[in-house]
């Protein structure tokens, strides 16, 4: 689909490349992350990797029009993975990845300059629309 290739980083992957997969959440299951729809809003560029002993900080530059939907300690999906925003400075979003996440996802092989798919938390979009309509 044209919109998928235009909006996501999927146009840059090749046969044999790894991707992250998660089965759909059951409505009666416990929610361990946030409500992820799989609708990618744009792509972010990895600008810094800071590996510590017990976690690794990844800093991404996200599109300017998505910044307003991201809050510190809020949720963001990067490459389909539900993550917590550890730091936020303008369009720079830092996430701290635990070893499990690095092992189970493709983040372990991401390098500075690589792009990742971004899905912002949908709650902010609904709130924005409702407040806009009320004004």
What residue ranges in the chain does DSSP mark as E strands? 42-51, 56-61, 75-78, 81-89, 92-97, 115-120
- Whether 72 and 87 have beta carbons less than 8 Å apart is answered as yes
* Residue linked to tokens 């979003």: 93
Stretch that binds ligand DLZ, among 44-52, 62-70, 92-100, 109-117 (CB under 6 A): 92-100
Among 79, 101, 115, 117, binds ligand DLZ (CB under 6 A): 101
For ligand DLZ, the closer CB: 54 or 133: 54
Question: x/- site string to ligand DLZ, residues 48 to 87, per CB under 6 A?
Answer: ---------------------------x-----xxxx---
Residue 105 touching ligand DLZ (CB under 6 A) = yes
d(CA 74, CA 56): 18
Q: How far apart are CA 77 and CA 30, in angstroms?
A: 18
Binding segment toward ligand DLZ, per CB under 6 A, in 37-45, 63-71, 98-106, 118-126: 98-106
Bridge partner residues of 51 (DSSP)? 56
- The residues that touch ligand DLZ, with contacts defined as CB under 6 A, are 32-33, 75, 81-84, 95-98, 100-101, 104-105
């Amino acid at each position: 689909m044209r919109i998928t290739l235009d909006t996501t980083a999927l146009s840059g992957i090749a046969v044999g490349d790894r991707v992250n997969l998660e089965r759909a959440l059951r409505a009666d299951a416990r929610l361990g992350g946030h409500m992820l729809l799989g609708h990618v809003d744009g792509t972010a560029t990895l600008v810094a990797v800071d590996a510590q002993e017990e976690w690794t900080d990844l800093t991404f530059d996200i599109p300017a029009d998505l910044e307003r939907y991201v809050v510190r300690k809020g949720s963001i999906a990067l490459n389909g993975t539900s993550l917590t925003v550890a730091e936020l400075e303008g369009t720079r979003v830092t996430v701290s990845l635990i070893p499990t996440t690095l092992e189970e996802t493709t983040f372990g092989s991401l390098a500075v300059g690589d792009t990742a798919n971004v899905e912002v938390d949908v709650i902010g979009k609904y709130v924005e629309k409702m407040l806009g309509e009320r004004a």
